[in-house]
Amino acid sequence: MTELSALLQRPQEALDPELAAYLVDSPLGPVIKHPLVFSIPHSPQLNAMANARLRAKQDGCRQALQSRKWSQYLFLHERPYRVNAFTRIAAQMAARTYWTSLAELWIDAENIAENEPLWTTLLQDSSRVRSRHLMMTAPERRHLAQQPALMRVYRGFNSDERQKGMSWSLDAEVARRFAMRFGHGRPRVAAGTVEKSAVIAYLSGRGEHEIVVVPAAVRDQHVTDAHRKQRPNKLGG
């Protein structure tokens, strides 16, 4: 009998109070969205499994903190909570670890907008900003250095509130794919310009030629339907 089967066949146990505090109704039915444990959807038959996962992850977090394995600690958390976990250990990190860990979380994140004020604070921390170039690899720094002083950037979105954001791309086709990836809403592509000096980072980890920038720094924006491909221009778009 596997460990999973054993957990499912145990007599029904009460849900850990810590998890119970994160048990909410959703269109999928009851779900748990605890920082360490997601159970979607959730039923009482899954209590034992959820409780066991919580204990295992709590132990893992304690051990990771004791051994200063920062990446392990962060990725024991569920994705939406990782940037919050980062704030709890950031002060203990050397400059390189701070920026490489933040880059790793950024590349992995699915919804930057959900925590945009926190991301902005971490990326613009005055005590850290002088070493912010460490968020990029050496090839990424070289690629950014080769860009013109005024850069053309693109952002795909499918609802008006998504037009502004911190994640843009040098590649119009990447932005178009992002706009259309969910197959709903009104997919569009915003094109604008940003001064290279305002760019926080260029990240190529997912092949998206991503430009990280505060939304207000992207100027002269115009929007087109995502079904129409962008035309190249003298700024390199």
Q: Which two tokens stand for residue 223?
A: 């929007």
Rounded to an integer, what distance in angstroms lies between the CA atom of residue 176 and that of residue 155? Answer: 8
Task: Tell me the pTM.
Answer: 0.86
Convert the pLDDT of each residue in 99-117 to its tens digit. Answer: 999 999 999 998 899 999 9
Query: Are 202 and 210 within 8 A, CB to CB?
Result: yes
Q: What is the mean pLDDT of residues 21-29?
A: 95
Query: Are 113 and 202 within 8 A, CB to CB?
Result: no
First and final C-alpha spacing in the chain:
57
**CA angle (183, 189, 190) in 5-degree steps:** 145
Can you tell me whether residue 177 is helix, strand or coil? helix
Q: What is the mean pLDDT of residues 65-80?
A: 98
Q: Residue 233: its pLDDT value, please?
A: 52
pLDDT at position 39 over 90: yes
Rounded to an integer, what distance in angstroms lies between the CA atom of residue 180 and that of residue 188? Answer: 8
Q: Which two tokens stand for residue 165?
A: 């954001």
Query: Are 43 and 7 within 8 A, CB to CB?
Result: no
Q: What is the mean pLDDT of residues 51-64?
A: 98
Q: What is the mean pLDDT of residues 129-139?
A: 97
Convert the pLDDT of each residue in 165-207 to its tens digit. Answer: 999 999 999 999 999 887 677 899 999 999 999 999 999 988 8
- What letter would DSSP give residue 112? G
